[in-house]
Each structure stands twice: as C-alpha cells, then as structure tokens.
Amino acid sequence: MTSSLPAPADRLEVLEAATLCLVETAAPTLAPEHRAAMEQAWAKAVQANPDLFDGPAVVCTATGYDGDTLVLSWAPVTYRYFALRRVAGAPQVSSVFVTVAQPTDEGRLVVGRMSAWTAAPGRWQLPGGNVEPPVGTGVLDEAELRNQACRELAEEIGVPSTPRDLTPWAVTCGENGNIGVHYEAPPLPQQAVRERYEALVRAETVAGRAPELDRIALVDGAAGELEGPHADYLDVLLHRYKARTHG
C-alpha cells in the first residue's frame, strides 16, 4: 500500500474506491512555537465567535490505496487544531467530514445554508459535519461514519434515517486536503422534507437555540443557483447527481 498526506487541492478531487478502511494513528506532533501560535489563533477565533466549541474532532493524517480499498489514516484531536491553518509553517491539518445527499421525489437535492453562529456562516452545503472520534472502546469505521451521517441529517434538517438507509456515494479531497465521505439517502416527498425542517426550526427556537442551517433549498443543477458561498465539493457532486438522474 502506498500512503501520503492528502494534498491541498486547487480543485476538488473525487477519490474512487470500492471500499473504505479507516486506520487510527497518532495526532500530529507540534513544535512548541506552533502549539503556542495555535493557542493564540484559537483564542482570537473564540473571541470573534464565542459560539465556537473546542469539541472532539478527527484529522486525516494520510490517504492511500490497498488494491481498490481507500485507506484513510486518522487521528483524534479537538477543534482548536484547525486554528493551525492560520499559522505559517505549521503542519497541514485536514478535516474528515460526512454529508448526506437527501433527494426529493422530484429529483432535487436538499442543501442548507450555515447559520451566522457557525464556523462557516452563509455557506451552502449538503447536510453533514465533521467526524468525531469514537467514545470509549468504540471504533471509527465505515459503519460509524454512517451513524454520524444519520445524526447530522436529523440534527440539521430533521429527517430521521438509519445507517442501512444510506448508500455510499463519493469520497472527495478538497481545500486543505479535507476528506469528505458522502452518502445518499432514499428520496422523500418535497413537502415532507420542508415540513420536517420547519418542525426542527420550531423546536430549536422553543429551546432557545438557532438551527445550524438557517435556510434550506432544493436544487437541480449547479451551486451557482444559490446566493452566497458554497462548499468546494458542492458543484462537483450536484453535477454528478444530475448526470446520473437526468442522463
């Protein structure tokens, strides 16, 4: 098996693989000056956005192939490690995230706009989020990625699902070498999707919280239809979906 750090991409790359294997490795070793700069950058980020939370996260330390299996090496960290991206000369930090493509019966996909309090305010993306390391004796494998993808779908647009509902769709490598593992859910009626999202927003509002996605849209085509920035993978995956469903 050959292995390497995911390269920072000027354009999105789709990583073709029949299966996915995840291997835990040690967290990146930081020189004292890089750690100090990271702490300073994180403190500034929290000062600018007090809603930022230094919770558990996963970084990709290498990718490689073993035959037709994509091997993704990962390490457990916390969110402050992503502040290293603002530190000159620091080690590359690549996140691992999951998304779910939720189609409607009309052949559109649900996308959401990140709320103002999030780390990427105003950005359009598929429902999803950064992968978290397993708790206790748990294992981070492809089954756990499905679990976390289901949780993100429920938390962001209010659509319940089970891991067996999700079909592997694509793996991407994009900005900062970030690895996205993308799934597809079974189609739902457009009205049902909107009703579930609206119910989620009402519940969050009653609880005194703002939803993670402040708006959803149903798209059929390019991300350019949306007003504002969008995730780097979105155009590629929307074109991929349209080519398959519309020929």
CATH number of the domain encompassing residue 238 = 3.90.79.10
CA distance 132 to 113: 22
23, with CB counted inside 10 A (0-12, 13-18, 19+), is middle
Q: Which of 122, 110, 108 is nearest to 220 (CA)?
A: 108
Predicted pLDDT at 2: 53
User: Among positive and negative, which fits the CA dihedral 49, 54, 57, 60?
Assistant: positive
Predicted pLDDT at 78: 96
The pLDDT tens digits along the chain (247 residues) read 556 666 555 679 999 889 999 999 999 899 999 999 999 999 999 999 998 999 999 999 999 999 999 999 999 999 999 999 999 999 999 999 999 999 999 999 999 999 999 989 999 999 999 999 998 888 999 999 999 999 999 999 999 999 999 999 999 999 999 999 999 999 999 999 999 999 999 999 999 999 999 999 999 877 777 888 999 999 999 999 988 877 6
Domain count for the chain: 1
Q: Is 81 helix (H, G, I), strand (E, B) or coil?
A: helix
187, with CB counted inside 10 A (0-12, 13-18, 19+), is middle
Domain limits for position 200: 2-246
Q: What is the pTM of this model?
A: 0.94
Predicted pLDDT at 225: 77
Going from the C-alpha of 4 to that of each of 38, 76, 213, the distances in angstroms are 24, 18, 34
Strands (DSSP E) found in the chain: 2-4, 13-14, 19-24, 56-66, 69-78, 94-101, 109-114, 124-125, 128-130, 167-173, 179-184, 213-219
Predicted pLDDT at 9: 58
CA distance 91 to 69: 26
Q: Is 20 helix (H, G, I), strand (E, B) or coil?
A: strand
